[in-house]
Amino acid sequence: MSDSIKPDDFDAIIHERVRLSIVSALAVTSELSFGELKKMLSLTDGNLSAHARTLDEAGYIVIEKTFRGRRPHTTMRLTAKGRKAFGRYVEILRKVVDQGEDADS
């Protein structure tokens, strides 16, 4: 079957659960602050930083560091490449679900 899904079809960068959570959260908004993502996903500073760095290095997100007054303010947003990769990831998940539903019919 030409439409079969292989494990390598899943984007390994997005597939990790924390990174998938970050990308999913960013997919439905223009940007989120570091604090918003940290609270939303119940992550530590280090955990969010490490996974955000991986996504940034892959070109999937942009991390912007600015100041609000004297306080640092970090925001993240999906890039076009990240949005496309996430769309492909969701498309593959849909194919897996559809194949499962077809098998039950």
Q: What is the pLDDT of residues 4-27, one digit of tens each?
A: 888 889 999 999 999 999 999 999
Domain ranges of the chain: 9-104
Residue 49, judged by CB atoms within 10 A of its CB (0-12, 13-18, 19+), counts as middle
Tell which CATH architecture fits domain 9-104: Orthogonal Bundle (1.10)
Q: State pTM to two decimals.
A: 0.89
Greater model confidence, 87 or 105: 87
Q: Tell me what the pLDDT averaged over the chain comes to.
A: 93
